[in-house]
Structure 1
Amino acid sequence: MMRIIKLIFILLLSLNAFGQTRDGEKVFAHLSKNICLVNDQIWFSLQVSNGNEPSPSKIAYVELIDRASLPVLQLIVPLYEGKNDGVLEIPPHLESDHYLLRFYTRTSPLHDKNGSGVYNQLVTIINPKKGPVSQKPFQAKSTYKFEKARDFHIPESRLKKNSEIQMPLNFVQNTYRISVGIQNPYLPENFQGFIGQEIYQPLEGEIRVIPELYGHIVHGKNLATEIDTTETFFLSAHGRQSVLHSAKPDQEGNLFFELGPLKEYEFLIAQSLNYEKQLNFAPQSPFWNLKLIDDFVFPPLNLNEGDRKFLEMLMLAAQLKPHFYPVKRAEQLPIVTGFVADRTYLLDDYSRFENMETTLREYVPEVLVRRQNRSMVFKLLNTPLGGLFQENPLILIDAMPVFDTGELAKFDPKDIEKLEVLTREFSFNEDKFSGVLSLTSFQNDFGKFELPKNALYLNYWPILQPKKLESPHFNPKIGAANYPDFRTCLLWNPEISSSQARFFTSEITGKFEIKVSFVDETGMLQFLQSSFDIID
């Protein structure tokens, strides 16, 4: 009965979320620039709205797509009240070409009424070691129109290099985003700006998705020929913190693990409670398989000898930036994990033994170690009933379930920091366990305990980690003597309220552009731009 009530409650939450997004989520991104080299960075500020309110979605997705419509970079982006700022590290193996950068949420592509469920913008990436591949003659068959930022007037259109600039922005009344970067000379005028969902083929068939209202949801698939809907699968996420999740498959084998507030992991481990059999589990891509419409064609990238000076300047800027313009990683706040233990043992407070069996026998009276039918059994006290559990508890090492008690008994706990015991029945989602025996290592590396033989190690798609600049000018030592300044992005500030934009030009000359985006008093998004030349 409780399971039915829980399923109805989850269904109502999902229906409520879909009701909130009936008119469609609108996705918008402001980029620091739209041209860079491999190993360079593109900063972005992402905003997802639902009407005039922030979207309830807690997760967004970003993909870099090549002209063959294949993803070359995929990241999961957490949202905080419908927003987030981040940086894309451009992979070193990409060929020189134009790429499509797109943003969306789990549910936004479903509501294409307004065409704003997927934000798309072309960017140009240069690889000095891989020139553009030969391309077919370009024929602009399509009539798809990119939306351009509106022009605004600036007092001066020619600025000197290595100068301090104060640019008035009196027309902006609210907080805004601003970027000042070098202009992309390779992207045709009719492909500048951004475009919505109209460049994709309509989604086909019945599509069922779960809104990500609390955090990322990992979708797995039980590949067994016969699906046992009572079988419990575990998914543990491991990084700075480790967290355990569980799920049971539906009749089609779908499994859904909600990571909740967890925003950082290095890898995942999948296991089944039926641990003796081979695990038939496969993670499903969380990214939409959006297919470009046939008559949407990428423009060609043409490079020639006359571009040498410009490209050498880009290379110089890219080579210097990692050494002189550092980026700080913003620390994630810790989250509550695990359970409240009845007893905790810090093993450094005791003499160390060479195996876990002896350690438990000597120091942990809440655990009785017994051999039963040639197997090792750890029986925990049942404190509320004053008795003894007859089955093994849920055993964890850094949140990873361990079912082979024989291997655990032989395990040397020299790298285990603490041992926690829960001497009560433990309910975990729909399963009940005879208490919990949890080990935590010093380095969150399982204390060198080997991965269980039927467990599956998963290099899952990463969640983008927060980073911040030491200075919005990309150079923390503006004006310092003998400090090289070859910035191609002069200013990046995703949240500013000043009526003046203050920035410094660098050694780089040429055409630059300033872009400003903000939400006006009516709740409408405004996107403005202007350009200027930097001269000697």
Structure 2
Amino acid sequence: MISSLLKHISFFILLIQAFPLFAQEIQEEKVYVHLNKTIAITGESIWFDLRVATSSGECHSRIVYGELVNREGKGVQQSIFTLENGKAEGSLEIPGNLVSDHYILRFYTRISPMMGNEGIDNQFITVINPKNPPKTGTNKTSGLLHYSPKKASLQENLISESNAKKRSMLTPDLGGMEGKNMTISVSIKNPFLLDRFQGRFDNKIYQAQQGDKKWIPEPFGHVVFGKNLVPEIDTTETFFLSSHGSQSVLNTAKPKPNGDLFFDLGALKQYDYFIIQSSKWEQQLNFSIQSPFCTLKFKEDFVFPELILEEKDRPFLLDLIAAGKVSPYFYQPKSTDFQSIVTGFVADKTYLLDDYTRFDKLETVLREYVPEVAVRSQSKKTVFKLLNSPISGIFEQNPLMLIDAMPVFDSDVMATFNPEKIQKLEVLSREFFLNADRFAGVLSFTSYENDFGGYELPATALYLNYPLIQPKKVLQSPHFNAKRDQSNFPDFRNALFWKSEIISTADFDKIFTSEIEGEFEITISFYDEKGDFKMLRDGFEVRN
């Protein structure tokens, strides 16, 4: 017993010591993003390849954030993605209700915006909504663009042909690029963005952040930030955040003196919603979830260009719309599910309730079949007293009671609950430590459908929708159209190639054009020998 307790104490000491150490070793994180194209219609997705660079080459962050921002600085689409060894690849879908306009697509980690000018990758993209034309007079004519994007290095003759026919094949020549870790895209060129608005902008386009900066490192996974809004903060109060989806997981946190609460989800990436409760379960919560996305304002002299569409642009726009309408149906990427994680605890005893005669009250089930639990009445309240196995004693308090990882505090309601949709009961008949809290054992119930088995959400609990972490998506072909060799299969791609982690030039030895005419752009990104992020560009034209 004593050795077990010492192990827990040692663990908490190590945990407490780890965070200051992490803070001392933290490095500036520079974010660089390669987009597969810079123009799309609503409903389409923009693919991205993201790299986080540090001085040591090691990235501590495990989460990255992507936002599509309008000219007022409002995020109109926000997504969370996972980082693996400082790399992320995925796509961000363009919402269907946007007005046709230029937008900024930006990416950052939780701490990178506060660590230097390279902490946010900002790039203009153009969104076309066939049902919602651009508004006129939206540009700031008095503003000046002081913060030009970094100019991309140009390399001639990435391909030998400057002109190509529809549904033909081009052979690129990467020359001395063999062995470099490259990301390559081939897509339609955006005719509505002037050169000075193309490329990457850094943090200098934003006003300085006001107030205290919240440093929330994410070395293990996503951290949910909340606020306890009561006038007098009780730092001993425990808040419970249960995450529910394909799996259910419980996290806890105690508020800081200013009311800040941080729930580290760790390896958990898949959830549909959260439920928040407090150890003061009879009181109504005064709690607010905080957005994980940056609140930033553009500088007054930063110009959003005006999107002007003219009659001469009609053929290009019709092709753009055709490509955008076809791609979600015929070139659909495959989603990879998140791996299940180890949750919960190692139970001392597990009961499969189908092995026993069913009763319509949970207290009857416990009385009849679970010898580790003594159901008692104490001060007119039902109490479930668990056996304390290591000392052959009985706990005097209620254990931690869970249904699909959601804490249940009202033992009277629990006693009368009908467990007909409960699959199993797991019992831990010993002290249980969860972060800084100690519980008199655990009674954990699991439903068949991971839906609480019909147990009603407690009146004082908060149900929270929260931005989801996006699963990784994989193209069926780097050429987008896996059936391009079938003459009867529609081929209206305006994105002809997209692939990251290209080491051998043999992985980019062919470009297949489609039915779409116009100017196309080849973009290659990589890190050079000095560790600097570089981009090379070349182009060609497709005509009938």
Class of the TM-score when normalised by the shorter of the 2 chains: over 0.9
Residue equivalent to 1:155: 160
In 2 relative to 1, CA 162–212 (structure 1 residues): closer, same or farther, beyond 3 Å?
A: same
1:415 aligns with 2:421: yes
Residue equivalent to 2:100: 96
- The aligned runs of 1:23-422 (5 Å cut-off) are 24-112=28-116, 115-136=117-138, 138-139=140-141, 141-153=144-156, 154-172=159-177, 173-422=179-428
Amino acid at match of 1:164: M
Contact 1:487 1:507 in 2 (8 A): yes
**What is the TM-score with the length of structure 2 in the denominator?**
0.94
CA distance in 2, matches of 1:487, 1:442: 45
CA distance in 2, matches of 1:226, 1:189: 55
Amino acid at match of 1:77: F
Residue 12 (structure 1) shift: 5.0
CA distance in 2, matches of 1:309, 1:189: 22
- The aligned runs of 1:508-519 (5 Å cut-off) are 508-519=516-527
Contact 1:14 1:211 in 2 (8 A): no
In 2 relative to 1, CA 96–469 (structure 1 residues): closer, same or farther, beyond 3 Å?
A: same
Amino acid at match of 2:149: F
User: Match of 2:303, SS?
Assistant: coil
CA distance in 2, matches of 1:180, 1:249: 50
CA distance in 1, matches of 2:241, 2:137: 45
Residue 304 (structure 1) shift: 1.9
* CA deviations over 1:104-156 (Å, ceiling 9, x no partner): 112111122xx211110001111111111122455351221112322222211
CA distance in 2, matches of 1:294, 1:276: 49
CA distance in 2, matches of 1:52, 1:529: 28
User: Match of 1:231, SS?
Assistant: coil
CA distance in 2, matches of 1:353, 1:503: 67
User: Match of 1:168, SS?
Assistant: coil
CA distance in 2, matches of 1:415, 1:149: 61
Amino acid at match of 1:71: G
User: Match of 2:148, SS?
Assistant: coil
User: Match of 2:213, SS?
Assistant: coil
**Quick check: 311-320 or 332-341, which moved more?**
311-320
**Quick check: 120-129 or 490-499, which moved more?**
490-499
1:533 aligns with 2:541: yes
CA distance in 1, matches of 2:17, 2:536: 41
Residue 524 (structure 1) shift: 2.0
User: Match of 1:221, SS?
Assistant: strand
Amino acid at match of 1:147: K
Residue 193 (structure 1) shift: 0.7
User: Match of 2:415, SS?
Assistant: helix
In 2 relative to 1, CA 136–217 (structure 1 residues): closer, same or farther, beyond 3 Å?
A: closer
User: Match of 1:414, SS?
Assistant: coil
Residue equivalent to 1:426: 432
User: Match of 1:171, SS?
Assistant: helix
In 2 relative to 1, CA 430–52 (structure 1 residues): closer, same or farther, beyond 3 Å?
A: closer
Residue 204 (structure 1) shift: 3.2
5+ unaligned residues in a row in structure 2: which ranges? none
* CA deviations over 1:356-414 (Å, ceiling 9, x no partner): 22222222221122233332221111111112112111001111101122222222222
Residue 340 (structure 1) shift: 0.5
In 2 relative to 1, CA 52–226 (structure 1 residues): closer, same or farther, beyond 3 Å?
A: closer
Contact 2:285 2:461 in 1 (8 A): yes
Contact 1:393 1:437 in 2 (8 A): yes
Amino acid at match of 2:51: Q
Residue 21 (structure 1) shift: 4.0
**Quick check: 166-175 or 76-85, which moved more?**
166-175
* CA deviations over 1:136-188 (Å, ceiling 9, x no partner): 45535122111232222221111221123331213223121111111111111
CA distance in 2, matches of 1:5, 1:387: 26
* CA deviations over 1:445-466 (Å, ceiling 9, x no partner): 1112111110001111221221
Residue equivalent to 1:492: 498
Number of matched pairs: 533
Identity of aligned residues (%): 50
**What is the TM-score with the length of structure 1 in the denominator?**
0.95
In 2 relative to 1, CA 165–52 (structure 1 residues): closer, same or farther, beyond 3 Å?
A: farther
Residue 7 (structure 1) shift: 8.2
CA distance in 2, matches of 1:397, 1:383: 23
Contact 2:154 2:538 in 1 (8 A): yes
User: Match of 2:541, SS?
Assistant: strand
Contact 2:160 2:171 in 1 (8 A): no
CA distance in 2, matches of 1:165, 1:262: 44
CA distance in 2, matches of 1:384, 1:314: 70
Contact 2:250 2:405 in 1 (8 A): yes
Residue 277 (structure 1) shift: 0.5
CA distance in 2, matches of 1:525, 1:148: 12
CA distance in 2, matches of 1:346, 1:76: 37
CA distance in 2, matches of 1:138, 1:247: 46
5+ unaligned residues in a row in structure 1: which ranges? none
CA distance in 1, matches of 2:10, 2:169: 64
Specify which of 446, 455, 473 is matched with residue 449 of structure 1: 455
CA distance in 2, matches of 1:355, 1:306: 74
Contact 2:139 2:303 in 1 (8 A): no
CA RMSD, aligned part only? 2.0
Residue 9 (structure 1) shift: 5.4
Amino acid at match of 1:55: C
